């Protein structure tokens, strides 16, 4: 079933697998009023009494030994309440999963311009800034390395002596027989691509408010995607039992992967508060946000593809990712890139050689697509290059090789639903007849593949979400979920699922997320898992609650439970329409009989497989189910200036059942924004020869604005996936991975030159045109 949407469309009547009021409806977001009227509480708005300002002293050198730090002048500045260095903290190594190699404050070495060396808390921001200038650090400047290829060489300067190498992670995995595949192929193509260090550029800067109580309990307010993950690792970093640490709900002003982990600033704020014995607010400046918060991994991707009888049979992907100064999620992103490459098309043989490399640059981490945008640009560009070389229609070529429902990929992912061919056809049709005439007009397509949840992040063999539903005495519903509303409409989606699972109107449902006190352990929002894992947890909790309600009603009404159902806030008998009670009546009755709320807890940990030592998963794969998409766009180019303009983008996505089409469209548009920014205007955080970052402000680091965005046609190629709640799949990331290649393919179609590095700028186009002419 295909549904075309334009932004701003009216609410449409819902259809689908359930008789429902809310799931499938274009409901307004439950957080909308708070946000548009300025009532949402972000970190900056946390108003603790006697709050101090925290500031971090950062290394001005890309690589330096720290011979000593003298904080005495800073400590004696009036208004300064605490100054901390490595000596004040527990030597806990921050990182992702087991790959911790970063102290919250540098021990004896700084490894990038921006590395945390010391920190202060003072009565106001100005005093804190001044105190930073009074901290005397004795640096011994060391040689540094910015380029991962250089950093991989045997004689390269090594950032972490204990590792003995700058290769933080590598992966060499083969499925089938790649050499045999290439030997038997009719054609073998090998191409190389490069992508830049895209910055997340969240509208809300990173930071933390920490309050270390005199009872040795720690409360933090940090805009995180994963409150329980922050709690879990922060407790270790400050050496408190988990029962003494609370992560409180705040609004999240953009995340995109940059807020999944515990970061040094969270730990620093906590220790400043501990030492000062007052709450500390520590927020990045915009400049710090650029050079000291994490980024996407710059990547070199080489793809070798074997074709036999027009079918892709064999593929070998080599990727080198620049992880920056500390490992963070580099191993996982590198692994994900290789894993995704094995799932794009039906192939028989696959090999991956991946390298995550440390350099003296800022730390790279999760970013929308998680290896997908780097891969997608390469893989989907090469698809068109192959089609061109073999004189195949690129759309046909994709359709012939596309995955289909019921497939298991070469690396083991089972596609319980897959409407990829429908996506390709729909995206193709959407632009039919729209392509303007003229020699510098082009059209290009790229497909995308993504995950919905991910097993095994953060140590445990787990992909868990948790929800609890309590019924109030008036029949209204209190829903607690362990994730966080990070701007994706999570709370609204959960409310819709709870409302329909229980048969009550959405205005009777409240959703509380993001507070570790309320909710049970939940891994949070990443890997497009929110709607599916939290959604399933909410559904399970609601189903339990419904069961208890019907049990109680059967007893109260002296009617067989099998005859009862919930309809429009009432429990009614199918046998006798006169037998009916309201939800409020049954709730009050249960309070009378049992003393307290009907409630159900849903813990959902899907039946997926943990990766083995190769980083790949046995069937059904590490993800619960997999979304697919196709992006098709038109471009027109000015050959004199290299400038280009995108006419329209058609995005067709198989995201299962959209719980709320308006939210899905918001995700599609956001996905296009990040993909198109990476493909075009965003320069990436480049470094100069001295190892200093080139960009510090929104004036020089360009972003697309609303005015720059092309028309987007959102098409939902709805599948009915058997796994998620109401058949939902992830939708937040995969389109980002497709935009770069679609643009490169369209440009090649328009002007016959092939762009192999992102971003694609007018300058690069002019250079390519010149090369093509010469």
**Binding interface with a copy of itself (CB under 8 A):** 30-34, 37, 39, 41, 45, 47-49, 213-217, 232, 235, 241-244, 460-464, 466, 470, 472-474, 476-478, 480, 507-510, 512, 515, 517-518, 520-522, 588, 591-592, 594-597, 599, 601, 603-605
Handedness of CA 139, 141, 142, 145 (dihedral sign): positive
User: Min. distance of Cβ 467 from a copy of itself in angstroms?
Assistant: 10
Which residue lies nearer to a copy of itself by CB, 285 or 510?
Answer: 510
Which residue lies nearer to a copy of itself by CB, 407 or 551?
Answer: 551
List all residues 6 or more positions away from 562 whose beta carbon is below 8 Å from its beta carbon.
Answer: none
Which residue lies nearer to a copy of itself by CB, 189 or 591?
Answer: 591
Which residue lies nearer to a copy of itself by CB, 125 or 174?
Answer: 125
User: Min. distance of Cβ 493 from a copy of itself in angstroms?
Assistant: 16
User: Min. distance of Cβ 504 from a copy of itself in angstroms?
Assistant: 10
Which residue lies nearer to a copy of itself by CB, 589 or 694?
Answer: 589
Angle 70-325-159 (CA atoms, 0-180°, nearest 5)? Answer: 80
User: Min. distance of Cβ 487 from a copy of itself in angstroms?
Assistant: 16
Give the DSSP letter string of 598-650.
-EEEEEE--S---B-TTS-B-TT-SSS---EEEEEEEEEE-TTT--EEEEEEE
Which residue lies nearer to a copy of itself by CB, 45 or 124?
Answer: 45
Question: Taking a C-beta distance cutoff of 8 angstroms, is the pair 230, 484 a contact?
Answer: no
Which residue lies nearer to a copy of itself by CB, 399 or 584?
Answer: 584
Which residue lies nearer to a copy of itself by CB, 206 or 232?
Answer: 232
User: Min. distance of Cβ 605 from a copy of itself in angstroms?
Assistant: 3
Which residue lies nearer to a copy of itself by CB, 567 or 592?
Answer: 592
The secondary structure of residue 29, as a DSSP letter, is P
User: Min. distance of Cβ 512 from a copy of itself in angstroms?
Assistant: 6
Q: How many CB atoms lie within 10 A of CB 100?
A: 18
List all residues 6 or more positions away from 460 whose beta carbon is below 8 Å from its beta carbon.
Answer: none
d(CA 608, CA 603): 15
d(CA 479, CA 498): 8
User: Min. distance of Cβ 517 from a copy of itself in angstroms?
Assistant: 6
Which residue lies nearer to a copy of itself by CB, 517 or 619?
Answer: 517
User: Min. distance of Cβ 448 from a copy of itself in angstroms?
Assistant: 29
d(CA 128, CA 605): 45
Which residue lies nearer to a copy of itself by CB, 327 or 516?
Answer: 516
The rounded Cα 667 to chain-centroid distance in angstroms is 12
Q: How far is CA 114 from CA 60, 290, 322, 363, 615, in A?
A: 7, 10, 17, 10, 31
| CA within 13 Å, CB half, 377 | 32
Q: What is the 3-state secondary structure (H, E, C) of 102-170?
A: ECCCCCCEECCCCCEEEEEEECCHHHHHHHHHCCEEEEEECCCCCCHHHHHCCCCCCCCCCCCCCEEEE
Beta strands at 136-141 and 64-70: parallel, antiparallel or unpaired: antiparallel
Which residue lies nearer to a copy of itself by CB, 554 or 597?
Answer: 597
d(CA 34, CA 250): 12
- Can you read off the two tokens belonging to residue 690? 């001295």
User: Min. distance of Cβ 125 from a copy of itself in angstroms?
Assistant: 17
d(CA 395, CA 444): 9
Which residue lies nearer to a copy of itself by CB, 9 or 473?
Answer: 473
User: Min. distance of Cβ 588 from a copy of itself in angstroms?
Assistant: 8
Handedness of CA 369, 374, 377, 378 (dihedral sign): negative
User: Min. distance of Cβ 234 from a copy of itself in angstroms?
Assistant: 12
Which residue lies nearer to a copy of itself by CB, 592 or 700?
Answer: 592
3-state secondary structure of 370: coil
Question: Taking a C-beta distance cutoff of 8 angstroms, is the pair 530, 485 a contact?
Answer: no
User: Min. distance of Cβ 461 from a copy of itself in angstroms?
Assistant: 5
d(CA 421, CA 400): 9
d(CA 38, CA 32): 10
User: Min. distance of Cβ 240 from a copy of itself in angstroms?
Assistant: 9
Q: Which of 24, 132, 125, 119 is nearest to 73 (CA)?
A: 132
User: Min. distance of Cβ 413 from a copy of itself in angstroms?
Assistant: 21
Q: How far is CA 225 from CA 261, 448, 466, 603, 767, in A?
A: 8, 24, 15, 19, 41
């Amino acid at each position: 079933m295909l549904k075309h949407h334009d932004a701003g469309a009216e609410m449409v009547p819902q259809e689908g697998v359930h008789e429902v009021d809310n799931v499938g409806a274009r409901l307004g977001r439950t957080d909308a009023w708070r946000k548009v009227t300025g009532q949402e509480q972000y970190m900056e708005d946390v108003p603790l009494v006697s709050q101090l300002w925290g500031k971090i002293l950062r290394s001005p050198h890309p690589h330096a030994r720290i011979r000593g730090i003298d904080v005495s002048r800073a400590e004696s500045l009036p208004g300064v309440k605490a100054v901390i260095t490595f000596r004040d903290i527990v030597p806990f190594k921050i990182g992702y999963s087991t790959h911790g190699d970063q102290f919250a404050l540098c021990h004896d070495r700084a490894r990038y311009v921006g590395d945390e060396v010391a920190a202060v808390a003072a009565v106001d921001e100005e005093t804190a800034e001044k105190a930073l200038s009074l901290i005397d650090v004795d640096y011994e400047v060391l040689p540094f390395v910015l380029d991962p290829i250089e950093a991989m060489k045997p004689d390269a300067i090594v950032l972490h002596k204990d590792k003995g190498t700058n290769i933080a992670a590598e992966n060499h995995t083969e499925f089938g027989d790649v050499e045999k595949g290439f030997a038997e192929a009719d054609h073998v193509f090998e191409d190389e691509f490069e992508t830049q260090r895209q910055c997340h550029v969240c509208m809300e800067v990173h930071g933390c408010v920490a309050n270390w109580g005199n009872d040795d309990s720690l409360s933090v307010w940090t805009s995180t995607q994963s409150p329980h993950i922050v709690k879990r690792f922060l407790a270790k970093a400050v050496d408190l039992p988990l029962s003494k640490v609370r992560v409180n709900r705040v609004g999240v002003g953009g995340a995109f992967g940059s807020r999944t982990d515990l970061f040094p600033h969270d730990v620093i704020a906590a220790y400043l508060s501990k030492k000062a014995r007052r709450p500390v607010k520590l927020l990045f400046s915009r400049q710090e946000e650029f050079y000291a918060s994490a980024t996407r991994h710059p990547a070199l991707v080489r793809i070798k593809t074997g074709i036999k009888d027009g079918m892709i049979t064999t593929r070998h992907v080599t990727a080198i990712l620049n992880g920056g100064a500390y490992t963070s999620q580099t191993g996982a992103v590198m692994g994900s890139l290789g894993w995704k490459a094995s799932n794009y098309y039906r192939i028989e043989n696959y090999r991956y050689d991946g390298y995550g490399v440390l350099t003296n640059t800022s730390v790279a981490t999760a970013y929308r697509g998680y290896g997908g945008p780097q891969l997608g640009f390469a893989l989907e560009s090469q698809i068109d290059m192959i089609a061109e070389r073999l004189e195949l229609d690129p759309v046909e070529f994709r359709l012939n090789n596309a995955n289909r429902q019921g497939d298991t990929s070469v690396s083991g992912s089972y596609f319980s639903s897959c409407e990829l061919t429908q996506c390709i056809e729909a995206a193709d049709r959407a632009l039919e007849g729209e392509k303007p005439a003229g020699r510098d007009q082009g059209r290009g397509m790229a497909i995308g593949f993504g995950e919905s949840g991910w097993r095994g992040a953060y140590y445990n063999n787990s992909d868990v979400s948790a929800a609890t539903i309590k019924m109030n005495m008036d029949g209204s519903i209190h829903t607690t979920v362990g994730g966080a509303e990070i701007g994706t409409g999570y709370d609204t989606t959960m409310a819709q699922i709870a409302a329909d699972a229980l048969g009550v109107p959405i205005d009777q449902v409240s959703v509380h997320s993001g507070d570790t006190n309320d909710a049970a352990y939940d891994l949070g929002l990443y890997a497009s898992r929110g709607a599916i894992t939290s959604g399933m947890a909410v559904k399970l909790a609601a189903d339990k609650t419904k069961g208890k309600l019907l049990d109680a009603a059967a007893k109260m009404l002296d009617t067989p439970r099998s005859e009862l159902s919930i309809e429009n806030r009432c429990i009614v008998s199918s046998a006798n329409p006169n037998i009916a009670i309201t939800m409020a009546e049954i709730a009050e009755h249960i309070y009378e009989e049992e003393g307290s709320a009907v409630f159900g807890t849903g813990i959902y940990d899907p039946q997926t497989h943990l990766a083995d030592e190769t980083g790949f998963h046995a069937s059904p794969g590490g993800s619960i189910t997999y979304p697919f998409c196709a992006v098709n766009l038109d471009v027109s180019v000015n050959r004199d200036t290299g400038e280009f303009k995108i006419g329209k983008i058609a995005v067709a996505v198989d995201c299962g059942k959209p719980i709320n089409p308006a939210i899905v469209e918001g995700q599609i548009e956001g996905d296009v924004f990040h993909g198109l920014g990476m493909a075009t205007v965003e320069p990436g955080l480049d470094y100069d020869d001295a190892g200093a970052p080139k960009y510090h402000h929104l004036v020089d680091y360009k972003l697309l604005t609303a005015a720059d965005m092309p028309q987007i046609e959102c098409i939902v190629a709805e599948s009915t996936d058997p796994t998620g709640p109401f058949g939902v799949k992830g939708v937040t990331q995969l389109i980002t991975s497709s935009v770069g290649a679609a643009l490169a393919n369209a440009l090649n179609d328009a002007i016959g030159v092939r762009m192999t590095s992102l971003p694609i700028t007018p300058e690069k186009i002019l250079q390519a045109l010149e090369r093509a002419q010469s």
